Amino acid sequence: MMNQGIHTVDMLQWLAGPVTSLSAKAKAVLRNIEVEDTVTAALEFASGALGILEITTTALDGKGQRLVFHGEKGKLVIEEDTIVALQINGEDVELPSFEPFKVIPDGHRLQIQDMAVAVRDGRDPVITGADGRHSLEIILGAYEASRQRKEIELQV
């Protein structure tokens, strides 16, 4: 979860807002490794919304990171950082076709450039240290909730 899962947690918070509490189970299900290969977590957001987070390295199709949002007016499905389905008012929305890794080929360079400009201009970068800290707290909270077998409250 800590390695690649943090990117999914970043996106989850960006779309749904801060997580206030969670319970989780983390374990090595299929791989003989020292860290977990599967994590499931029940999340509560500051908005009152509830969510389920599943991250695994054992998915046979290689898609171990998936976000599904259900709302009053529709549904959004994101797999591996790509929107794969969108429904609004019961109607499927046709999605443009693109290759996600060709859309922003220099993501790291752009983040570093934004940080340099932010320092020069005295503004916050698009992605702040606090944003990264919140994602880290969710992951550490999931590990702790799994170890303690109880719900963990997070500071927002």
pLDDT at 64: 67
Q: How far apart are CA 77 and CA 89, in angstroms?
A: 15
Q: Please give the model's pTM, rounded to 2 decimal places.
A: 0.79
User: What letter would DSSP give residue 94?
Assistant: P
- The rounded distance, in Å, linking the Cα atoms of 127 and 111 is 8
**Residue 87 to residues 16, 19, 52, 73, 90, Cα–Cα distance (Å):** 17, 25, 19, 8, 6
Query: Which structural domain, as residue segments, surrounds residue 129?
Result: 4-153
Tell me the C-alpha distance between 126 and 79, whole Å.
Answer: 23
Cβ atoms < 10 Å from Cβ of 148: 11
* Number of compact structural domains in the chain: 1
CATH number at residue 72: 3.30.360.10
Q: What is the pLDDT of residue 80?
A: 74
**Which residues of the chain register pLDDT less than 70?**
31, 62-64, 98-107
**pLDDT tens digits, 29-69:** 776 777 778 889 999 999 999 998 888 887 777 666 778 88
pLDDT at 75: 93
pLDDT at 59: 73
